[in-house]
Structure 1
Amino acid sequence: MNARAIAIGSGAARPLRRQRPGVLPGFGLSLGYTVFYLGLLVLIPLAALPLRSAELGWSGFWETVTAPRVMASYKLTFGAAFIAATINAVFGSILAWILVRYRFPGRKVVDALVDLPFALPTAVAGIALTQLYSQKGWLGGWLQDSLGIKVAYAPLGIVVALVFIGLPFVVRTVQPVLEDLERELEEAATSLGAGRAQTIWRIVVPTVLPALLTGFALAFARAVGEYGSVVFISGNMPMRTEITPLLIMAKLEAFDYAGAAAIATVMLGVSFVMLLIINLLQAWQARRNGRLA
């Protein structure tokens, strides 16, 4: 009896199996393709912004990105995006709750309408909102004459447009989490004497919060870069209703490519910081839910 047979019989060693090639490509090929694809479509274009803005030098860069007109556009763009994302986070989660927990006539129609901003061209959305909320529109004239509220060609109109295009991100992010939420947990809390407010705050909110933060981040990121639906309803008045993407387009039309790249670099940096903060909050909430489980 040879050594291999003795080893097998004694259980001291086992013959090595030949590894079968997997159906999907290996880790090395998949990782290489991913890095190549990500670098070609995302990293290289983003890296071109700071490289092009470096032509201005530090003093020229700082002077460009801190000009009064540019600062006013920053304040309006990020402020309106934050307000719109907050509104969507509140009312989008309520809409998702209604779609998941209640059955009513026309529910499927409402559910389909949520995705309308995804399919509708942003320019069409901007024209429709302008016609609706302008002084001669169906709602704009009544709001301005009766309540003194001006929507179109005002910062409020920008918020309305950003709420319109950002709502689906919150609804479609929160809705699957609510569908997977076990109602037995709510029933158990109720049987232990918890009221509706306590049940929502202690059971529903901790479960939905990570998805809600994700939806908020997506709505905020989309709103910061939105152009088509805002450019019509804002009026594009410098220092008042001029958003940063429109200012970048104006510099491009004036062949000031370095200045446009400088402003875009600032927007890119702020967006990265906001998304990083939100991702850290999501990670903290996930760890907190893991400890409570």
Structure 2
Amino acid sequence: MAILVDMTGSESRLDAIKTDFKRLGITDPVWLPGEDYDPASIELVLAWKPQVRDWSAYTGVKLVQSWGAGVDHLLDAGFPADWPVARFMGQSLKDRMVRYVCAQLSNWQLDMPRLVQAQNEKRWDWHDGRWGEQVLILGLGELGQSVAESLAVQGYKVSGWSQSPKKLKGVESLTGKPGLNAGLARADYLINLLPLTSATRGLLGSELWARCERQPVIMNVGRGASLAEDDLIPALEVGQLSGAILDVFETEPLPSQSPLWSHPNIWVTPHIASISDPSDVIRLSIDNLRQVRAGEPPRYPVDLSREY
């Protein structure tokens, strides 16, 4: 077996990833783009924003494994339609997402930037916080379910919108346009965890905000292009939204000239909500390759024709 690690935008991590394979006892050759390898020897492509190339010489590939939970970065790579593709999912990814969402909701309610500023000025700035208990989660996949159930345990009134009904303890399942409208009307917090598809690109925009009745805070921890960035600040200025907590962006890193950096009711974090643990990704990719070799589908399979 030979492995190709094809990751654009993460070049500084590639040598460390090769070391991770060795540390986990995997002695098979691990190649990086630009190195001298035989394309026909590659069985596993471990990919994040892979280079667009002619894959016809890669006749031995049995699996494409996404480094992350999202797969929109694979859609334009030109992979043959019959290659099995899988996304990454693991407990560490779920735990990190839950911790980020819970921390940011608490920080928003306590208005932590205000308190940090008060401390810097040695000023006792008591305030009663800014609250709200109705949470609408867009997308109830693995991550969305984990977030929804965790928030429900904390006492939030949680609803989740998805293509098909879900049965989750303490979570109201919403589907279709009527369900989405009902959830938007009562939401204090709107958390996006939808995959990026042609249907969800730009979904978080002015048409959606117009259906919100309680000036919610939005949190985008799904995909950056799901947010129509040009619509956000106008929605904040006219009071359709109270604030925005953004961890993902259509262009990353977020350009320095973006007005999102400086708006007082927008919090920006650098795509840290849920980072894939390299060891977990490698273990899953090897396990998935073994399953495909045995004639079984990989865990967390992806249908690129459906975009997720």
Structure that is richer in helix per residue: 1
- Normalised to the residue count of structure 2, the TM-score between the two structures is 0.24
Which structure has the greater CA radius of gyration?
A: 1
Structure that is richer in strand per residue: 2
Structure number with higher relative contact order (C-alpha < 8 Å, ≥ 6 residues apart): 1
